Structure 1
């Protein structure tokens, strides 16, 4: 049964589920109502978590960014495309803890931080829209200036 959701709400749920390590924060989409539910093991539940949350006919688990290859694989793809001369250095960075901080420092030095954020945002949107389509989710256009008709 297809469900329709607001793009901004889906993105917010995805960002919540992707915060920290996989499993630390969870978000579900109720297939019947289109409402999102939230849970974290860091603090008390934000909302009542249903006992049948694992029933895939009723609920759809919002993926963590790592499930959509939006972690290290995306960094390496960015390096291949945008900073090929830095690729080996970036690969080595991710062999140790604290890699994202070092990566962002490098991007700052190379004046490429904005390009990274654009690249990451586009990849996230594409992956999340593809995931939604596979799971029978219809995304309503985001409200605001981006969804207003072109008035040329």
Structure 2
């Protein structure tokens, strides 16, 4: 089965918007279409009763299931902000951590580096998840990216 990368990424981001279980999505193994469901709003899509049937549907993971939450933040801090590691751990001991973390990144002029790090880690984790689940990613439409000329 193959999926469009942008559709997969949009669906993954939807699932990861809130806490695990607030938003769900599945990939229909028969049609190759993503179906979305939210506990916080009326159903986005018609939600089948048998989404737990793994032969028919594949559940899209939440970012926490792929270690893209706090473990990723701490890995970033170890690599790029080792002097602030203890402060970042303290930030994540309280509610509202991501807003305070991003404020710290802004002050340290590291926000763009964080977004790049997070995007690369998300792509790698999703591609690995696809490989494990026998999903191929359709080539992206549009012009090819410019080669890196560093």
Length-normalised TM-score, structure 2: 0.95
Moved >2 Å (runs of 4+): 147-150
Give the counterpart of 2:30 among 22, 29, 32. 32
**Match of residue 65 from structure 1:** 63
Residue 86 in structure 1 maps to residue 84 in structure 2: yes
Task: Please report how far the alpha carbon of residue 142 of structure 1 lies from its aligned counterpart in structure 2 after TM superposition.
Answer: 1.8
Length-normalised TM-score, structure 1: 0.94
Q: How does 1:2-151 map to 2 (within 5 A)?
A: 3-145=1-143, 147=144
Task: Please report how far the alpha carbon of residue 144 of structure 1 lies from its aligned counterpart in structure 2 after TM superposition.
Answer: 2.4
Task: Please report how far the alpha carbon of residue 78 of structure 1 lies from its aligned counterpart in structure 2 after TM superposition.
Answer: 0.2
Calculate the aligned-residue CA RMSD, in Å: 1.4
Structure 1 stretches lacking a partner, 5+ long: none
Q: Deviations over 1:102-139 (max 9, x none)?
A: 10000000000000000000000000000010001111
Task: Please report how far the alpha carbon of residue 17 of structure 1 lies from its aligned counterpart in structure 2 after TM superposition.
Answer: 0.5
Task: Please report how far the alpha carbon of residue 76 of structure 1 lies from its aligned counterpart in structure 2 after TM superposition.
Answer: 0.1
Report how many residues are paired.
148
Task: Please report how far the alpha carbon of residue 32 of structure 1 lies from its aligned counterpart in structure 2 after TM superposition.
Answer: 1.3
Partner Cα distance (2:145, 2:87) in 1: 43
Partner Cα distance (1:149, 1:100) in 2: 33
Q: Secondary structure at the match of 1:26?
A: strand
Q: Deviations over 1:56-111 (max 9, x none)?
A: 01100000000000000000000000111100100111000111111000000000
Partner Cα distance (2:51, 2:6) in 1: 23
Partner Cα distance (2:146, 2:134) in 1: 26
